[in-house]
Each structure stands twice: as C-alpha cells, then as structure tokens.
Amino acid sequence: MPETVLRINSFPSELLSAILTAAYNCYAASVDFGFGHLTRYPILLSSICSYWRQVALETPPLWATVDIKSIEQAQVYFRRSGTSVLRVRLAGTAYCTEDAPLVDPKVPSSAAKHLLLAHASRMRALVVNLTHLGDETTAFMELLACLSEHTLQELGIYKDWRSSRVSEPLADEKLSRVLGQLRFFHLEAFQIHLSDIGCHNLTELFIAYPEGPLSSANIARLLRSNPGLSTITLFGLKSVDLSPDNTEPIRLPELRRFHIDGYAERIIPWLLDVLVPGSHGISLHLDSISPLYNQPRDLFNSLVRFFQKASIISLHLEIAELPIPLMLQSLPDLQRLQLTSYSLDYPDIFYMMDQAAEKVAKLRYIDLYKCEFKDQRVSQGLQRLLNIPSLEEIRIFRCGRDNPGDGSKLQKLLADNTAARVTEYPGLEVQMRPYLFQ
C-alpha cells in the first residue's frame, strides 16, 4: 500500500470524510468535472482500501451524483446520499438530440419517473430526457411541481429527436420561480417561450432547436437579464424574427465561451455587433457556417469587428468554411485553434498563411477532431501553420473516420512536419460538450 495512503489512514474517519467531501465539492463546482466523473468518484475511493471504503459508504455527499442507467444502481446512490442535495441525470450523456443515446430499455419509464419525483425536492442539478417519461409536457409539469426553486440551480431538459410529439407551450408561475433561480439552463427541442424564461442568475445558457416562435428581441432580453453569463450556446435557431431597430449593446462582462451555428444565419451579424464582452479571454465556436451564406461579407465584417472588441484566446471552427488565414490575422491573443470535420488537404483552407502565422505569435495548441487528410504531403500553408514557433502541441481524435488507420497516418505525417508534440487525445470529444452533458 502506498505510504501516502498509510498516513491518511491514520486520520480519524470524520477528518478523512471531510477531506473527501471537500474534494468532491471542488470537483462539482468545476466545469472540468461532469456527471461521469462525479458518479465514479465514490466507487474509486471505495476501491483504494477497506478503510476508505468504510468512510466512503458513511459519507452521504459522495453519493449525491446519480446517473440513472440502471434502477438498482440509482436506488443505491439515492439511499447512500442520505439527505444531501442531488445531481441527477437520465440519459444526458450527449447533447443535440440526434446524437443523444436512447435511454437503456432496462430502465422502465414508470420506475424512472417514480425515482425522479420521489427525490426531486433535493435536486440541485437535473438533466433529463423527457421522452423516456412518456408525454414530455406532462412529465415536465409533474417534475416541476416537485422541484424546489430554493434548491435547483442547474436544469437540462430535452426531447428525443425521434419523438413526433409537439410539446405544448408552458406558462406557469412555478416555472417562472424555478427558472429564476437557475445558474445553468439547457433547453433542447422543447417548447418554453423565451419570453417566459425569467432567469436572471444564469452563468451558462444552452438553447438548441427550440420549438415555438423566436425573435431577436426575446434573445436580447434574455441575455441582458443575465449579465453574469460566461457560456452561451445557440444551436439550431432556424427561424428568428430579426428586429432592425434592436441595436442596443448587450454587455456581458463575464463572457468566456460563445458557440453559435449556421442555422442562426440571420442573427449572427446582429448578435456579434451588439455583444460587448469584458476583458476575459473568450473561446469562440462557429459551427456549420457556409460560404453560401446569404451575405458572407456582412458575416466576415461582423466577425472582424467582434475580434476587435474581444480577446479571442480559442477559436473552434466546425465545418465553418471561412477564410482561416484572414481570420487569424485579427486574432493576436489566440492560444488554441480547433478544427472539426475539415478536409485538411483542401487547397484553399490554408492559402496565404504566411502573414497570418506572424500575427498569431501566442498560438500554443491545435486540436483536430473528425478531420480528414488523404494526401501524403503537407501543403505550404499548413506547413507554415505547423511551424509557428510558439506551437507546443497538436491533439487529434477520430480523424480518418472511414478508415481508422488514416488517423495514425495523419499523426505521423504531422509529427514529421512540426517540432510540436502530436498526440491522440480522446478527451477532445468530452471537452467539446457543454458542462451538464459531460
């Protein structure tokens, strides 16, 4: 047994329990540790030695994160958690419903609903696939009646993309009270009108494929009501009524992560123009932005203006066919470049990289996720990017999806053309998910 464990075993059980609980609370407060980490934490502690197992079993807060993948296991966690506030998830291991896994058929709907309703008043965080509970609107209203607005701080609700039911618009006094106290709110493919979302304490907002009407005025009101927002994800906003006179600045001094996709093409230039971030470094994620965009020059000009008022330290482009070298020229603070679903040997992607490479003198990391590279040589532009003096590491994962061997070939090819470390990093997939879905 390691000497450090022997020394800790000399601690009284009350002290060791307090230390382990403090560590758990630190993990729970960090966006680097999602549900998966916290669920495994007491199991890991229990496996160290019999003394730690005894202490872990007698420390209720360690069991307060419950991922309902089996009714029996969930019941064990609920029982061992005592009266602790809970973090509960039912099939929330992915985001964007078409990628979300189905709930295990071994988890009966009635049993899952009974567990959720029985313990709802203790929930600090809840992520739930409402489709598994039957009629989504009815299930949510039943949960809402049991949730405590004084306890709940993090809520993620979504509907399975395979569900053909249209959720009914909700307007409820209890809904307003519950939403008003949230810090994290994830809404996907479910109908809650933005005008009914009375949140004012949010630090993370995720809205994807919402049902019901949308307008730039409602989006602006929601953002202005939550000046403490640090993370915003707007995904699948296919139809938004853009008010031409809605040009008042939206000041978000704590903004650190902003993710928007091409479905919101009508509002992207407007949103980039009215957002006024603070001095924090920002991670910007642009997804599915097409060159066929109706007004590409307006979009690019808005991006440049946003770059001038924000310190972009991380840029993530996902099938965003934008002029990468021209964008990099406006990003002197950039430290990380992430590319998802790119064909790296496409000739125009890294064209005219020389000037851009001089501007990104702080670039330290490049992440490549689901990228393809069929050529056996590196283009001049990519070569220039790979040899930026500040570059330390290139991480790749799931590159060459049709042929897994292509990923290894790409790793070797990159390693032969750069002084930076080139590693395969499965953690990329988890890091790109929102916090509640990790």
The residue among 103 and 214 whose pLDDT is bigger is 214
The residue among 295 and 258 whose pLDDT is bigger is 258
In a domain, 31, yes or no: yes
pLDDT of residue 250: 95
Q: Is the pLDDT of residue 167 over 60?
A: no
The residue among 180 and 230 whose pLDDT is bigger is 230
The residue among 34 and 51 whose pLDDT is bigger is 51
pLDDT of residue 323: 80
Q: Look at the block and give the residue holding tokens 């602006």.
A: 220
Structure-block tokens of residue 125:
């965080």
d(CA 49, CA 45): 8
pLDDT of residue 94: 47
pLDDT of residue 8: 62
Q: Please give the share of the chain, as a percent, with pLDDT higher than 70.
A: 82
pLDDT of residue 202: 93
Domain holding 380, by residue range, is 323-438
Tell me which residue of 248, 140, 153, 265 sits closest to 191, measured CA to CA.
140
In a domain, 264, yes or no: no
The residue among 292 and 186 whose pLDDT is bigger is 186
CA-to-CA dists, residue 361 to 336, 386, 406, angstroms = 11, 12, 30
Mark which of 63, 85, 100 sits at the end of a domain. Answer: 63
Confidence band for 235, pLDDT divided at 50, 70 and 90: confident
In a domain, 103, yes or no: no
Q: Is the pLDDT of residue 295 over 50?
A: yes
Instruction: Report, as an integer, the average pLDDT of 227-239.
Output: 87
d(CA 393, CA 363): 10
- For 34-81, give the DSSP string: -HHHHHHHHHHHHTT-HHHHHHHHT-GGGG-EEE-S-HHHHHHHHHHT
In a domain, 212, yes or no: no
Mark which of 28, 47, 63 sits at the end of a domain. Answer: 63
d(CA 118, CA 244): 48
Q: Is the pLDDT of residue 187 over 60?
A: yes
Instruction: Report, as an integer, the average pLDDT of 14-34.
Output: 79
Question: In the chain, how many domains are there?
Answer: 2
Say which range, 86-90, 119-123, 228-232, 321-325, has the weakest mean pLDDT.
321-325
Identity of the residue numbered 325: P
Confidence band for 194, pLDDT divided at 50, 70 and 90: low
The residue among 288 and 222 whose pLDDT is bigger is 222
The residue among 409 and 174 whose pLDDT is bigger is 409
Confidence band for 244, pLDDT divided at 50, 70 and 90: low
Torsion of CA 270, 179, 431, 208, to 10 degrees: -50
Q: Is the pLDDT of residue 292 over 50?
A: no
pLDDT of residue 430: 67
CA-to-CA dists, residue 28 to 21, 65, 218, angstroms = 10, 9, 31
Question: Among the ranges 257-266, 319-328, 331-340, which has the highest mean pLDDT value?
Answer: 331-340
Tell me which residue of 252, 285, 382, 279 sits closest to 333, measured CA to CA.
279
Asked if residues 398 and 369 have their Cβ atoms less than 8 Å apart, the reply is yes
In a domain, 23, yes or no: yes
In a domain, 314, yes or no: no
DSSP secondary structure letter of residue 121: G
pLDDT of residue 355: 87
DSSP secondary structure letter of residue 247: -
Number of neighbours of residue 63 by Cβ within 10 angstroms: 24
Instruction: Report, as an integer, the average pLDDT of 115-136.
Output: 90
d(CA 307, CA 321): 18
Instruction: Report, as an integer, the average pLDDT of 72-79.
Output: 93
What is the bridge-based pairing of β-strands 231-235 and 123-129?
unpaired
Asked if residues 95 and 136 have their Cβ atoms less than 8 Å apart, the reply is no
The residue among 307 and 36 whose pLDDT is bigger is 307
pLDDT of residue 181: 86
Q: Is the pLDDT of residue 207 over 60?
A: yes
Confidence band for 172, pLDDT divided at 50, 70 and 90: low
Tell me which residue of 437, 412, 434 sits closest to 423, measured CA to CA.
412
Mark which of 23, 47, 63 sits at the end of a domain. Answer: 63
Q: Is the pLDDT of residue 312 over 70?
A: yes
In a domain, 388, yes or no: yes
d(CA 316, CA 370): 13
Average predicted confidence (pLDDT) for the chain: 82
Confidence band for 119, pLDDT divided at 50, 70 and 90: very high
Instruction: Report, as an integer, the average pLDDT of 293-305.
Output: 74
In a domain, 72, yes or no: no
Find the helix or strand (DSSP H, E) in which 188 lies: strand 184-188
Q: What's the chain's length in residues?
A: 438
